[in-house]
């Protein structure tokens, strides 16, 4: 059963078909259209000198692989707040958002379509780093010797960071 098989408004069976400009689940009984959107995440680059922080993923997707810290933005939470919270939950580190590096998308993941907002974080002290929550391990890796990352989207965010560093060099 798909999660949109039944109308969340009236409980009758939805149909899947073209309506309001796209293919969507909708209900012929109460005329509800069940719009779907990508889920936003905050995904983090946390540099320490020439290293960046990676976490070993404790859950699927990408279990056992290294990835950037981060996670889904909760209701009533800004992307910045999500960034700070996820960093704390996964690594016990306190950070603050320096700037947004960009964004990328991951389609058809285990959680559906994901919108990744990439943030550059300032972490002043890495000594209290402890892997927690969805992370089995947390470690700093040299930027030029990263392991294979769990997702192409995370590799794209690392590229954004490298481009950002290159622009900084050009501007000084
Ligand atoms: Zn309905």
Pick the CATH number of 39-171 from 3.40.50.300, 3.40.1010.10, 3.40.50.720, 3.90.79.10: 3.90.79.10
Query: Which residues are in the CB-under-5-Å shell of ion ligand 1?
Result: 7, 9-10, 27, 29-30, 32
- Report whether 93 contacts 99 (CB < 8 A): no
What's the gap in Å between 14 CA and the centre of ligand 1?
7
d(CA 98, CA 124): 12
User: Taking every pair of C-alpha atoms in the chain, what is the biggest distance, in angstroms?
Assistant: 63
Determine the distance separating the centroid of ligand 1 and the alpha carbon of 27, expressed in angstroms. 5
Q: State the distance from the centre of ligand 1 to the C-alpha of 21, rounded, in angstroms.
A: 19
Where do the CATH 2.20.70 domains begin and end in the chain? Answer: 1-36
**Alpha carbon of 28 to ligand 1 centroid (Å):** 7
Of residues 77 and 60, the one with the higher pLDDT is 77
Compute the distance from residue 40 Cα to the ligand 1 centre, in Å. 27
What separation in Å is there between the alpha carbon of 23 and the centre of ligand 1? 17
15 CA → ligand 1 middle, Å:
10
**pTM of the predicted structure, to 2 decimals:** 0.90
| High-pLDDT (> 70) share of the chain, % | 98
> For the chain, where do the domains classified as CATH 3.90.79.10 start and end?
39-171
pLDDT of residue 1: 52
Report the distance separating Cα 69 and Cα 95, nearest Å.
Answer: 12
Q: Is pLDDT of 109 > 80? A: yes
- pLDDT digits over 122-133, tens only? 999 999 999 987
User: 125 or 110: which carries more pLDDT confidence?
Assistant: 125
Tokens 């309001």 belong to residue: 20
Distance 6 CA to ligand 1 centre (A): 8
Q: What is the pLDDT of residues 82-98, one digit of tens each?
A: 999 999 999 999 999 99
Question: How far is the C-alpha of 60 from the C-alpha of 132, rounded, in Å?
Answer: 15
Query: How many alpha carbons lie under 13 Å from residue 88 in its C-beta half-sphere?
Result: 10
CB 68 within 8 A of CB 43: yes
Do the Cβ atoms of 61 and 110 come closer than 8 Å?
Answer: yes
- What is residue 159's three-state secondary structure? helix
CATH 2.30.30 fits 1-36, yes or no: no
Residue 134 — pLDDT band, cuts 50, 70, 90? confident
- pLDDT tens digits, one per residue of 18-46: 999 999 999 999 999 999 999 999 999 99
Q: What is the DSSP string of 38-57?
A: PEEEEEEE-EETTEEEEEEE
């Amino acid at each position: 059963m798909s999660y949109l098989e039944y109308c969340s408004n009236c409980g009758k069976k939805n149909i899947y078909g073209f309506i309001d400009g796209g293919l969507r689940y909708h209900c012929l009984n109460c005329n509800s259209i069940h719009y779907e959107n990508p889920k936003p995440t905050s995904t983090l680059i946390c540099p320490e000198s020439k290293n960046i922080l990676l976490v070993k993923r404790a859950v699927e997707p990408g279990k056992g692989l290294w990835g950037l810290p981060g996670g889904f933005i909760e209701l009533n939470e800004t992307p910045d707040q999500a960034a700070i919270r996820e960093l704390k939950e996964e690594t016990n580190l306190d950070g603050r958002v320096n700037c947004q590096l960009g964004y990328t998308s991951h389609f058809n993941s285990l959680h559906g379509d994901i919108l990744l907002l990439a943030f550059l974080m300032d972490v002043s002290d890495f000594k209290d780093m402890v892997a927690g929550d969805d992370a089995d391990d947390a470690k700093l890796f040299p930027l030029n010797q990263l392991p294979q990352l769990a997702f192409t989207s995370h590799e794209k965010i690392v590229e954004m960071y490298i481009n950002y560093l290159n622009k900084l060099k050009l501007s000084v």
